[in-house]
Structure 1
Amino acid sequence: MAKGSHGSRQAAWEFFGAELKRRREDAAFTQVELGARVFVSGGYIGQFEQAIRKPQLDVAQRIDEVLQTGGFFERMWRKLIKDKRYAEYFEAAAELERLATDIFEYAPAVVPGLLQTPEYARAVFVASNPLATDEYIDELVRARMERVLLLKDATRPMYWGVLHETVLRIPVGGPDVMARQLDHIAAMVREHKVLVQVLPFAAGAHPEMGKMIWLMEFEDAPPTVYTEAVLSGNLLDDPAVVKRTRASYDLIRAAAKSPKATLTLLESAAKDHRRCVSST
């Protein structure tokens, strides 16, 4: 999305927040009082009003009910939240990702989006959309690379990823693309932009086998877990769920190779893929 388009979208969300504040005050509710009625914290209401955080659809609907606004906030949400760069179920997670101070991720089969190269991302998108036009795939790759910029920013969040060894061995895009992908991850580790560990095949059974884990923590909001299934995703901030997920992640991290050993394995796996290139 062009910068001007992003600016227009942000201005629209600021209008959403300004209207929310105006109508809340007209109804004589404090942020805490409105939050209690729509089942979020008063701090969340303040972040909505400042366009720092965007409400989920069900929250916008409850705001309409409490403030008796005739569906105004739901209609605005449906108009503003549509972003063709991302699947609808991922849009809210993509917004929160930009606000996170810490991101913890476990990837059982695919290189996490924030660590992907353009060539790797393209191969993933083409595999899922074999009949799509080049223009459509290009737009998906651009959106993915825009997310990647998050880890290049000086104010980037602390990122800690655990990759199952499966991720290193599947030659996504072919062995040459895969080798360069692993080189890219290794370079990010050496440059101290990310922390990465690999959970080896030898680790055997582990918590949440086959399931991705994506935890996000924020400066002034509760931590959130994002989970994903076939064409669906969920943001979960129930404290008990987040605590249990964090415990599973910690167990996975404890079973993984050390960051130093992981770097060696990344380099070795890249060499293995290059041998496949040279042998063809």
Structure 2
Amino acid sequence: MSDKVWFITGVSSGFGRTLAEEVARNGDKVIGTVRQLGQLAEFNDISPGNTFAYLMDVTNPDGIKATIDAAFNHFGRLDVLVNNAGFGFLGAVEEATIKDFREVMETNFFGALQVTQAMLPYMRKQGSGRIIQMSSAAGFRSTAGFGVYNASKFALEGMSEALALEVAPLGIHVTIVEPGPFRTNFAGSSIKAAKQEMPEYDASARVFKNNILGYAGQQEGDPQKAAQVILQVVNAENPPLRLPLGSTAFTAVRNKLKQVEQDLSAWEEVAANTSYSQ
């Protein structure tokens, strides 16, 4: 039986809810953040004495600090942070407005960043901690029609790679989780789309959008199995920096690596030779 204290953002549904349930079942304490008052009692009732709901918006820095301070004061420590809150966005890069980009970045990137920064002082003082950044296979490889979401998750991964190097000497581990398609509400209520649809992108961005919306509720991934893997990673002595989840995610990552290697091999002779001549 384990007795870690977890802090998970966005536990009202999807991955966050499933992970919180699995963590509580494992005997750990779970602080879960929600955005609506009506969701507080529901989460508290999942496992009384193990699940504790807090009202928090990841786009509100003052609220984040107050919530994390209150959680630490209540439990005396915070062992695991899971930055899970976020949403998807469909549309070609040209179709999306700058406002669309900013809104997605505000939650998916800046939200996770602000929560991480507020949590780090406590983990540094403890000399230990695990940070799980819920990214996506889309945070490693881009897809036509997903550029706004790709941008937010690429930013999260870039920041998290640097963070992992910075906090490793302090006893804190960072793992970037990259799920493929899982049977959550991601393709339903957790996704938005560009208001304009340009016919020029019907053969690219629109195809992807239709595929995503078309398989809502039929995705291959089982969220409970994913949660069990994340639990193993948190309890591992040497957790990975990156953790793709599901066969589709592994294929996406490997295909990206192959593409990069092909470009390197094709252009190395020309492009690597850019030093000053002696």
Answer whether TM exceeds 0.5 for this pair: no
Whichever structure has more helix as a proportion of its residues is: 1
| TM-score, length of structure 1 as denominator length | 0.29
| TM-score, length of structure 2 as denominator length | 0.29
